[in-house]
Amino acid sequence: MESVWTMVDIFVIFLLIAVLGFVLIILVEAYRRRNNHGHVGTPAIFEDPNSLKQVPCPHIVDPASKYISLIIPAFNEEHRLPGALKETMNYLQQRVLKDPSFSYEVVIVDDGSVDGTKRVGFDFVRKYTVDVVRVILLGKNQGKGEAIRKGMLHSRGELLLMLDADGATKVTDLEKLENQVQSVAKKEFHCGDSTNNDSSFRIADVPIAAFGSRAHLEEKALATRKWYRNFLMKGFHLVVLLAAGPGIRDTQCGFKMFTRAAARKLFTNVRLKRWCFDVELVFLCKQFRIPISEISVNWTEIPGSKVNLLSIPNMLWEMVLMSVGYRTGMWRIST
């Protein structure tokens, strides 16, 4: 009997050591990422492929010089990117024909691709000029979150929209988000000071966020997916609820719009670079009290998705790091 208890004691000791070791790893990794919101690597440079000259790089703290910026992160998107860009450019040009005052830019962030993504991007720069289409080269793969952050920090728009390179969400749906942002911004502007008049209103100056959502498609997805994928999805939603709080049903849709003021606050603070930066954006919006609207968008599953079952553990790991980082004060929010 004594030897049995000895084995149990040994097991308990090893279990405690394992738990303490895991906690220590979490604390070390969270601490290591405390400065992830700072500039890392080489600064962003825009190159004009026609003249081979470098173009001055704007920053999110600069005044807006375009109405809207579309930021497209791309990692090995040689085949899917051309179709999405063509549809996007056609739509934006139609907007200009309807309203000559409408100004825009498309910022493609090549996240260390090893295929022809860079070539595709520069083909569009040559066609539309570097003032309209710009390419940021990250050099090495850093993650979708970092690619979007870089694009946001070096865009010129009053409104900034992130959208995926596969064209899964129709670019025309940006008007849904745009109209909602305009509506909420005007309410916030007048609520802040009743003496404000419309002549001084600039949408870029009011912190607002609008998230595209596929939540309305969830019922159909539940009926067609395998049971284990539904189980994982529900579990992920629960973890997101614990990490970022309630309010947003679909945090992972890659179609999100921010005013310049909101982007300035959020993307100078976001630290997660890969799977769960969207969840961190929700958390930061709540910390800054930035209103978030969730808008249903049209979405089509495009073959070639880089998200798989192995992404789930990475997502959970990043959410743990985020929770520990902010709740221990290691990740400080800069205002």
What pLDDT is stored for residue 12 in this prediction?
81
pLDDT (tens place) for every residue of the chain, 335 residues total: 455 567 777 778 888 888 888 888 888 888 888 888 775 445 566 777 777 677 778 899 999 999 999 999 999 999 999 999 999 999 999 999 999 999 999 999 999 999 999 999 999 999 999 999 999 988 889 999 999 999 999 999 999 999 998 888 899 999 999 999 999 988 887 675 655 666 677 899 999 999 998 776 555 544 444 555 555 556 666 666 666 666 677 777 889 999 999 999 999 999 998 878 988 999 999 999 999 999 988 877 666 555 556 667 788 888 889 989 998 999 999 87
The domain 46-327 is classified under which CATH number: 3.40.640.10, 1.10.3720.10, 3.90.245.10, 3.90.550.10? 3.90.550.10
Contacts for 35 with CB less than 8 Å, ≥ 6 apart: none
Q: Cα 315 to the chain's mean position, in Å?
A: 14
Residue 274: closest CA among 151, 160, 149? 149
What pLDDT is stored for residue 249 in this prediction?
79
Q: What is the pTM of this model?
A: 0.85
> Please, what's the b/e burial string for 170-184 (b: 16 or more CB within 10 A of its CB; e: otherwise)?
bbebbebbbebbbeb
Which DSSP string do the residues of 62-114 spell out, in sequence order? SPP-EEEEEEEEESS-TTTHHHHHHHHHHHHHHHHHH-TT--EEEEEEE-S-S
